[in-house]
Copies of this chain bind each other. A is one copy, B any other.
Amino acid sequence: MKRIKKSLMVGAVLGLLALFPSAGEAGVDREKFLKDPGVYGTFAVFQVDEEWWKLDKAAKVAAVSEVKAIFQKHSDALIADTYLLRGLVEKADVLVRIHSLEILTNQNFLIDFMGTALGQHLKNTYTFNGLTKALNYVPGMSEDLKIALKTQTDPGPKPYAIIVPIRKDAEWWNAGQDVRTAMMKEHTEATVPYLKTVKRKLYHASGLDDVDFITYFETAKLDDFNNLIIALEKVKENRHNKQFGAPTLLGTIRPLDEILAILSH
């Protein structure tokens, strides 16, 4: 937990970076939190209630400052990325994705956030909790496939993010490792054509939530993403998805400041 006891100055810099997730990902810890196994991710979705809009300008401006301060306060222990779902998903306006080394850290941030004047007007419509793990190469993968999987997504902004929670059926989990491996290989091959335009990240959620996996995607090309999902629907593994989406959360990656400006306009 030493990582958390950094100087406030470093924390402040980190915090600013956290506020602009799509603008660089330069901070070392941010990189680490997004790459390392053993990091806990919490996805919290909020819907603004009707009362919020009735507040006067001054109250909204004060509320916005308070939220920024809370993000700042926690910025040396976690990274918090913000997304706007409003207009694209019913009953959802804002998504905050939090990464830290303990779910307790995520919870304490959310308690502070939900306790702000704005937070008291936010209805928490969905929350998903997961955990990153070291990626295992599926045995039997060809060298070509392994090389392909090292493909970096194209640089440049990826304005869209999609979160798809998944629950596997008992048959999947009960299948022998070899059967599961074969299905995962088929799955992996189906994703190759989209490695350059769709960035992916996986969280394990069994027991921490009502799903087994939280899959997270970033892209600039939603048509490619649509084709990727169709490709995944066509592989055998799809027969074992008891839940796929429900909800599918589609949003745009936007810095906290922009989201707060929209909510307080």
| Residues of chain A at the chain B interface (Cβ within 8 Å) | 38, 40, 42, 44-45, 49-51, 53, 84, 86-91, 103-104, 106-111, 114-115, 120-121, 124-127, 129, 131, 159-160, 162, 164, 168, 170-171, 173-174, 204-210, 212, 222-223, 225-226, 228-230, 233-236, 238-239, 241, 245-248, 250, 252, 262, 265
Complex Cα spacing A54 to B224, Å: 46
Contact of A208 among B49, B205, B207, B250 (CB under 8 A): B250
Copies of this protein in the complex: 5
Q: List 11 A-B contacts (CB under 8 A).
A: A87-B106, A87-B107, A88-B103, A90-B125, A90-B127, A103-B222, A173-B234, A174-B239, A206-B226, A206-B230, A207-B226
- Whether the Cβ atoms of A233 and B206 lie closer than 8 Å is yes
- Whether the Cβ atoms of A241 and B170 lie closer than 8 Å is yes
- Whether the Cβ atoms of A124 and B90 lie closer than 8 Å is yes
Q: Which of A87, A109, A110, A125 has the most CB of B within 10 A?
A: A87
Contact of A170 among B89, B204, B238 (CB under 8 A): B238
Given contacts A160-B103, A233-B170, contact A121 B50 (CB under 8 A): yes
Instruction: Report the nearest B residue to A107, measured CB to CB.
Output: B87
Q: Which residues of B lie under 8 Å from residue A233 when comparing CB positions?
A: 168, 170, 173, 206, 212
- Whether the Cβ atoms of A129 and B88 lie closer than 8 Å is yes
- Whether the Cβ atoms of A206 and B234 lie closer than 8 Å is no
Q: Which residues of B lie under 8 Å from residue A84 when comparing CB positions?
A: 107, 111
Contact of A252 among B107, B109, B204 (CB under 8 A): B107
Complex Cα spacing A173 to B235, Å: 8
- Top 6 nearest A-B pairs (CB, nearest first) are A87-B110, A207-B229, A173-B233, A170-B238, A170-B239, A53-B120
Q: Which residues of B lie under 8 Å from residue A42 when comparing CB positions?
A: 87-88
Q: Which residues of B lie under 8 Å from residue A87 when comparing CB positions?
A: 42, 44, 106-111, 114, 124, 127
Q: Which residues of B lie under 8 Å from residue A171 when comparing CB positions?
A: 239
Contact of A90 among B106, B126, B168 (CB under 8 A): B126
Complex Cα spacing A223 to B38, Å: 8
Instruction: Report the nearest B residue to A126, measured CB to CB.
Output: B90
Given contacts A210-B245, A230-B206, A248-B209, contact A111 B86 (CB under 8 A): yes
Complex Cα spacing A235 to B174, Å: 6
- Whether the Cβ atoms of B49 and A104 lie closer than 8 Å is no
Instruction: Report the nearest B residue to A239, measured CB to CB.
Output: B170
Q: Which residues of B lie under 8 Å from residue A110 when comparing CB positions?
A: 86-88
Q: Which residues of B lie under 8 Å from residue A236 when comparing CB positions?
A: 174
